[in-house]
Amino acid sequence: MSWLQDMLISPFADFAFMRRALVGCLALALGSAPVGLFLVMRRMSLMGDAMSHAVLPGAAVAYLLAGLSLPAMSLGGFVAGVLVAVLAGLATRYTEVKEDASFAAFYLLSLSLGVLLVSKSGSNVDLMHLLFGSVLAVDDAALLLVAGVATFTLLVLAVIYRPLLLESLDPVFMRAIGARGGIWHMLFLLLVVLNLVAGFQALGTLMSVGLMMLPAIASRLWAASVGGMLLTSFAIAALSGVGGLLLSYHYELPSGPAIILLAGLVYLLSLLFAPQGGLLPRLVRARHFTN
Amino acid sequence: MIELDNLTVSYQRHPAVHHVSGRFAAATATAIFGPNGAGKSTLLKTIMGALKPDSGQVAFKGISRRDLAYLPQQSEIDRSLPVSVIDLVSSGHWRQSGLFGQVRRHHDEASWNALVAVGLEDFATRPISALSSGQFQRVLFARILVQDARLIMLDEPFNAVDARTTQDLLQLVARWQQEGRTVIAVLHDIAQVRSHFPQTLLMAREVIAWGDTAAVLTEERLRQASETAAHWLARAPLCQVDGEGV
């Protein structure tokens, strides 16, 4: 028992920074997991990745103006992300270019601008921090941001759940009944950007996509309903957060990659063993019914 | 109830629907008939509001645009999503239950009755990915039943559907007419049109004939329709009707 306690409880009981990181991870999981699930259901799995690159120049500009300040960099990242989402959305709506293509175009523009800004003025250390974050250095301001974003995300998703799901399922039907799908889509993209920015300080712009997408993709292999997928993806995200923190504490690993790798491991195991379309359950031939 | 006033809809300036005027008779079923490329689906999409006309307009008279159910030629429904048959049918309640509204018991009953009407009540809790395309078409008809719309537009609803299912679904079309709903359907089977649709719009980009089915579907007019549609010049001269080309 005491061994278990040393492994699982003591790190959090003994150190305030671990407790802070724990709360941060759980809050991130709460917001990111459902957002990631909707990205998967809307066949936009790679969009999260694109958006994570898109926020970079905003954060870089803020860094140039205000130094290493979380509120400024978050705001900058948010503005850049929303700008890319809006421009790509407008391009999709008013030209012949498809959504994934216009997102690719605008995020690449944004990313190259960001790299230019960072390399012109910042040091490599700053860039590394921006890209990969550090969950063990999460302060009160960052914690409030993460918790606030998670709360906002869950509330908004609760309100727009029905139209958002219906629009993912059957966009033509939404158009036919005169319900404007575009509004819910933009609101949802706003949530994507918000959650990426929230994961900024803790996991960095690149790693925060991992907590969003990996649990969501894995959840499809476990649950056969949207509600079940929501719960599963949150459970996987939370488990990866806690487990990743403990791994990083005990084995002195960088926490961000530890968390995401753990989520990735859950995904790989799900591919093999999960009941809804995993590899092994498919090989086991259950007797079929009479009709 | 629906009037088309000199309607032209183009793809890259080549009209698919060309100066079409007329009105769909209310409380009856109109078939839209014509060769491939005659602009039939384009016309439905324009009425539905998904395509913008180059000129002319669609007027809804005595009916709201929202009182419309539309079944596209190829449904864009993502059938890999974990949604059950009854849930998909229930999405037809959208107009009444809205964004925040509760799905009440009478909604559930209506969804169930619709599934019974299309003979798929045993499939209620199965995922939509488990259905054949004919069964799936029945489910989409069940959703139209639930929508309870006064105007129902069907774009080639019986493609890839077997004879038995087609007969069952045609019964629903007949029932809708009896209930005073307006049905507009794009069809390819002339026997179906003659037996189930009192009105026909025969088109080949332009209106060839529009009215009572027996009067519209004559040998000569059908030949005229297929000849009109066959002419398709890559560099057609500008249209001078309405002085548009000036």
**Chain B contact for A195 (CB, 8 A cutoff):** no
Residues of A in contact with B49 (CB under 8 A): 175, 178
Residue B115 lies in a domain: yes
Per-residue confidence at B100, pLDDT binned at 50, 70, 90? low
Name A20's Cβ contacts closer than 8 Å, sequence gap at least 6: A138, A139, A143
- Predicted pLDDT at A221: 92
Give the lowest-confidence range in A40-54, A121-135, A226-240, B131-145: A121-135
**Domain membership flag for residue A288:** no
* Distance between A171 CA and the closest CA of chain B, angstroms: 7
CATH number reported for the structural domain that contains residue A137 in this entry: 1.10.3470.10
Residues A122-162: tens digit of each pLDDT: 665 665 666 667 777 788 888 999 999 999 999 999 999 98
- Asked if A223's CB is within 8 angstroms of B82's CB, the reply is yes
User: Does A281 reside within a domain?
Assistant: no
C-beta pairs of A242-249 under 8 Å, 24+ apart in sequence: A242/A22, A242/A25, A242/A26, A244/A25, A245/A11, A245/A18, A245/A21, A245/A22, A245/A25, A245/A135, A246/A7, A246/A8, A246/A11, A248/A136, A249/A11, A249/A18
Determine the residue among A41, A45, A167, A173 to mutate to test chain B binding: the one whose Cβ has the most chain B Cβ atoms within 10 Å.
Answer: A173
The pLDDT of A37-58, averaged and rounded, is 89
Q: Give CA separation, A263 vs A128, A243, A255, B26, B30, in Å.
A: 22, 9, 12, 58, 56
Q: Which two tokens stand for residue B45?
A: 């999409």
Closest-CA residue to B161 (of B135, B197, B191): B135
Within 10 Å of residue B55's Cβ, how many Cβ atoms?
Answer: 16
Task: Tell me what pLDDT residue A175 has.
Answer: 80
Most confident of the ranges A44-53, B98-107, B195-204: B195-204
pLDDT of residue B245: 43
Count CB neighbours of B48 within 10 A: 22
Short-list B224, B209, B226, CA closest to B32 = B209
- In this structure, the answer to whether residues B54 and B126 fall within a common structural domain is no
Residue A185: its pLDDT value, please? 87
Same domain, B128 and B94: yes
Residue B181: inside a domain, yes or no?
yes
The residue-averaged pLDDT of A3-9 equals 85
Residue B126 belongs to what domain range? 75-146
B154 and B44 fall within a common domain: yes
Do B80 and B191 lie in one domain? The reply is: no
How does the average pLDDT of chain B come out, rounded? 88
Mean pLDDT of A239-267: 93
How does DSSP classify residue B83?
Answer: -
Hey, is the C-beta of A227 within 8 angstroms of any chain B C-beta?
A: no
Q: Is residue B246 part of a domain?
A: no
B118 and B28 fall within a common domain: no
Same domain, B41 and B154: yes
B84, B94, B100: residue with CB nearest A166: B94
Closest CB from A166, A173, A177 relative to B66: A177
- Report the Cα B81 to chain-centroid distance in Å: 25
Res. A114: pLDDT tops 90? no
Res B246: pLDDT: 39
> What are B26-84's pLDDT values in tens digits?
899 999 999 988 899 999 999 988 889 999 999 998 888 878 899 988 777 888 888 99
In a domain, A223, yes or no: yes
Range of the domain at A107: 2-274
pTM, entire model: 0.86
* Contact yes or no for B78 and A43 at CB 8 A: yes
Q: Residue B139 burial (CB < 10 Å; 0-12/13-18/19+)?
A: buried
- pLDDT at position B24, please? 93
Nearest to A224 among B94, B100, B127 (CB): B127
Question: Is pLDDT above 70 for A211?
Answer: yes
Beta partners for residue B31, in sequence order: B185, B200
How large is the average pLDDT for residues A39-45? 90
**Mean pLDDT, rounded, for B162-172:** 92
* Nearest CB neighbour to B91, from listed A159, A173, A225: A173
CATH number for B9 = 3.40.50.300
* Residue closest to A269 by CA, chosen among A242, A239, A224: A239
Average pLDDT on B146-150 reads 92
The mean of the pLDDT values for chain A is 87
Q: Which comes out higher in pLDDT, residue B115 or B245? A: B115
Q: In the sheet where B14-24 sits, what is the strand order?
A: B14-24, B2-11, B55-60
Nearest to A244 by CA among A25, A14, A72, A46: A25
What gap in Å lies between CA A290 and CA A193, rounded to an integer? 50
